[in-house]
Structure 1
Amino acid sequence: MMRISVAVITYNWPEALERVLRALAAQTELPYEVIVTDDGSGPATRELLERVAVDYPVRLVHLWQPDEGARMSRARNRAIAAAQGDYVILLDGDMLAERHFIADHRAFARSGCFVQGSRVLTDATLTLRMLHEGMAAPDFFSRGIERRRHTLRLPLLARWYARPGTKQRGIKSCNMAFWRDDLLRLNGFNEAMTGWGREDTELAVRAFHAGLLRRELRFSALATHLYHPTRKHVVDNPNDRIVDDTRARGLVRCERGVDQHLAEFVHPPADLRALPAQES
């Protein structure tokens, strides 16, 4: 069976990250490994990971890079380079996976395709209850959610939506999956893109140029997005110009990508579960 790596990106929100990790540990089908790729968090995140690692059921890796501004592309590329799996699920550190999440992603993995998942949005009040009162993930009738339909797991309907295509709208790397070999062929995320957003769209555009198709994963591989303020309405985002250039030139590979990090991970990074206390 193919090995699945989950690459969870995080930055200074250990309370949310703990819920994300616990949700992945409670799956009906476990991934091969969970890689937490950290865009410069303070010590609290490392302390959380050391505590969680004590009884974690799968390989758990922590990759950290200095905080030099938002460098999501670089953080994700390091996780792709370090991944030991055949298939990489990209997940944000504020996305709580429903218990069939990994099994559903496996069921919809197809050669020549990448998968775009969906999410339920929560408001600030519900997020606080989930984090501090231990409230379970919302269901269809819960208050404080948007995109309510994404609480429904309906496998038969999911298969209808998952027909391969080239739809570009709605790309988001908070719940997305690729074969690792395809990511290496594309050279991963474009590290010329820093700051908020559009690096996932640019990657998808290059994937389409390479002949890959998108499978829309609705009513399956469900995840709940914890509320935080958004920056998606940034005006005159320079990353938009990079996306436009990628489209205009028909690019498949980016110049600054995952290949910069492959040598660092010729030997797999340490499993936190195996580290002595003084090393972790």
Structure 2
Amino acid sequence: MASISIIISTYNAPKWLAKTLWGYNQQTFKDFEMVIADDGSKQETIDLINSISKEVNYPIIHVWHEDNGFQKSKILNKAILSCSSDYILMSDGDCIPMPNFVETHSVKKKEGCFLSGGYHKLPMDLSNLISKEDIENGNCFDKDWLKKNGMRNSFKNNKINASKIKSTFLNFITPTTPSWNGHNASGWKKDILAINGFDERMQYGGQDRELGERLVNYGIKPIQIRYSTVCLHLDHPRGYATQDSINKNLAIRKETKNLKKKYTDFGIRKK
């Protein structure tokens, strides 16, 4: 059994998924399994996963269901049940992990806690430019190379390869509240199961945060690792983002907060 199960979500974005999976092939920590939570992608993605599974040095489990609109919460719950490890790291299929990404989560994991990491968003031109070779030789995590190829100057650039002392300091002073972030968060499978996983009523917009809020209500402490390790978030359109789904999710999150809910009746186990 692997030490860590990594869940990454995807939907009809094979080009981005390939870059993500190549990133996990460069990890310093290698005792993990990959569980792909696929919200109904077409054959091109299935073919890619079959092909790339022969290249990489980690096992891949492909969890798929038929495309019936945005059902990310539902496929994530199925993926959670497919994890063989007692510790789960979650990210997305459009996020290239730094080489120390999995190792950082492994080193910092702690009973009674979950880890809240960050991402660094790239513009579309730079997202397209990054090649397999750039991932393998580390160009895509080199600030000078990124700036040369279109990354703007920003304080957020400190997330890339910050020293241990610097990242610890930035984690301490950041005004950002640690939360369960779908692109970079990890926790114990038993805790996620105890709160019944993701609320499957929720579509795009905050379903990951709501899971984290129930974990906190359950007594799990969030630990900030926003600057300790990041993934590069590749740009893409979000045609599934609707105001109706966002409003619906906000109402569910408000109920979770006001009632201090630890458990959802609309998760892994149904009434």
TM bin (shorter chain): 0.7 to 0.9
Q: If the length of structure 1 is used for normalisation, what is the TM-score?
A: 0.84
Shift of 1:179: 0.7
Unmatched tracts of structure 1, length 5 or more: 261-280
- Who is 2:231 aligned against? 223
Stretches of structure 2 that go unaligned for 5 or more consecutive residues are none
- Cα contact 1:122–1:224 (8 A) shared by 2: yes
Q: Distance in 2 between matches of 1:162 and 1:186?
A: 27
The alpha-carbon distance between structure 1 residues 139 and 179, as it changes in their structure 2 partners (threshold 3 A), is same
Correspondences of 1:233-244 after superposition (within 5 Å): 234-235=242-243, 237-244=247-254
Does the 8 A contact of 1:31 with 1:102 survive in 2?
no
Quickly say closer, same or farther: Cα 1:51–1:118, change in 2 above 3 A.
same
How far off is 1:172 after superposition? Answer: 2.3
Q: Tell me the residue number matched to 1:198.
A: 206
Structure 2 Cα separation of the partners of residues 22 and 125 of structure 1: 19
For normalisation by structure 2, the TM-score amounts to 0.86
After TM superposition, the structure 1 stretch with the greater mean CA deviation from structure 2, 246-255 or 125-134, is 125-134
Alpha-carbon distance in structure 2 between the residues aligned to 1:140 and 1:157:
16
Q: 1:56 to 1:45 in 2, by over 3 A?
A: same
CA distance in structure 2 between the aligned counterparts of 1:156 and 1:212, rounded to whole angstroms: 26
Task: Map Cα deviations across residues 240-263 of structure 1 (whole Å, 9 max, x no partner).
Answer: 101011111111011121235xxx
Percent of pairs with identical residues: 27
Correspondences of 1:155-194 after superposition (within 5 Å): 155-160=164-169, 168=177, 171-194=180-203
1:103-114 correspondence runs (5 A): 103-114=103-114
One-letter amino acid of the structure 2 residue matched with residue 105 of structure 1 = H
**Counterparts of 2:241 and 2:11, CA distance in 1:** 20
**Structure-2 residue corresponding to 1:265:** none
Structure 1 residues 192 and 177, CA gap change in structure 2 (3 angstroms): same
Match of 1:149 in 2: 158
Q: Name the structure 2 match of 1:247.
A: 257
* 1:1-280 matched pairs, under 5 angstroms: 3-131=3-131, 134=134, 136-141=139-144, 142-143=146-147, 144-145=150-151, 147-160=156-169, 168=177, 171-194=180-203, 196-230=204-238, 234-235=242-243, 237-259=247-269
After superposition, give the CA deviation of every residue in 1:89-132 in whole Å (9 maximum; x if it has no partner). 10100000111111111111011111111111100110111158
Deviation at 1:171, TM superposition (A): 4.7
CA-atom RMSD in angstroms: 2.5
Cα distance between partner residues in 2 of 1:229 and 1:3: 34
Q: 1:154 to 1:28 in 2, by over 3 A?
A: same
Partner deviation per Cα, 1:124-150 (whole Å, 9 max, x = no partner)? 110111158857314333233362111
